[in-house]
Amino acid sequence: MSVLEWIGVDWGTSHLRVWGLAGSRVLHHAASEQGMGQLDRAGFEPALLALVADWLPDGQVTPAIICGMAGSRQGWVEAPYRAIPCTPLGGAIAQAPCRDLRLTVHVVPGLKQTQPADVIRGEETQIAGFLSRNPGWDGVVCLPGTHSKWAHVSAGEVVSFQTFLTGEIFALLSEQSVLRHSISGWDDTGFTEGAAQGMERPERLLARLFSVRAEGLLEGRDPAYARARLSGLLIGAELAAAKPYWLGQRVAIIGSESLAKHYAQALGTLSVPVTHHDATEMTLAGLAAARALLPHMERPCVN
């Protein structure tokens, strides 16, 4: 049986996911809802140990490599943003204070862009994972999610990036706005039509959202069509605004299967060549790449 060598951690605002690894082999996996948003500084170590304590071998030091919001100012330890253009990983990896002597804790820094102002925390690790699997790749990486990110990658460096609130706005509108009364489920036709409308006339986005409700009231429009159309309108408008990114480029989408499929479908109608890569796989590959940057002495002392 393989011996645990390191811990990989994806620590977002609302979730915590951990893996126990030997090289690139996953031995253990666990998750909790102890996201950064619910923890004060003293709460991070207990939240991590609650998931991994049973995995840790005694008599040796195991490194935990963390990406995501745990490195923000309100996180476990601040890992200051690195300024682009730069490789997705590099520079000083912040070490977080940890009382348990079986662990050393290392937090990957995010990236910042000055003009226009923008920041990334977590996605840089996924981009690094993607590049470790695809050395020498140039193009555009699209990471759809609560806050979608588009990043232009060239010669191994992130050259520019842009954040879109698309996923968060969809969640707010579909769960809490007046539109919630008219939408439920998913019908692909609604997505296709909404995305086409959103891409064609993104400047009319604010004017179109209420039609999702009005069509329900006046035409008895199917709620599954309506919900997918709302998603399409928003993603279509994102794609229109992201045109400087994808135009004339190949696009690697890193995300969950269902969301990536919708982006790929919409980009396909624009004849943009697209590949899809699993988000968790890229996170693990990126955390492994970050581990390789640690000083040698911090590697686990296994025989």
Contact positions toward a copy of itself, by CB under 8 A? 13, 81, 112-114, 116-119, 147, 162-166, 168-169, 172-173, 176-179, 202-207, 209-211, 213-215, 217-219, 234, 237-238, 240-242
The helix or strand, by DSSP H or E, that contains position 158, with its residue range, turns out to be strand 157-164
Smaller CB separation from a copy of itself, 118 or 187: 118
Give me the torsion for CA of 58, 62, 67, 68, rounded to 10°.
30
Smaller CB separation from a copy of itself, 87 or 197: 197
Rounded distance between C-alpha atoms, residue 58 and residue 148, angstroms? 41
CB of 143 to a copy of itself, least distance (A): 13
CB of 131 to a copy of itself, least distance (A): 24
CB of 266 to a copy of itself, least distance (A): 14
Smaller CB separation from a copy of itself, 6 or 81: 81
CB of 177 to a copy of itself, least distance (A): 5
**Residue 176 tokens, joined:** 């809490």
Q: Are 162 and 89 in contact (CB under 8 A)?
A: no
Query: What residues does 163 pair with on adjacent strands?
Result: 149
CB of 221 to a copy of itself, least distance (A): 8
Smaller CB separation from a copy of itself, 179 or 289: 179
Q: Are 211 and 204 in contact (CB under 8 A)?
A: no
Go through the chain and tell me how many residues it has: 303
Smaller CB separation from a copy of itself, 125 or 174: 174
Rounded distance between C-alpha atoms, residue 127 and residue 90, angstroms? 13
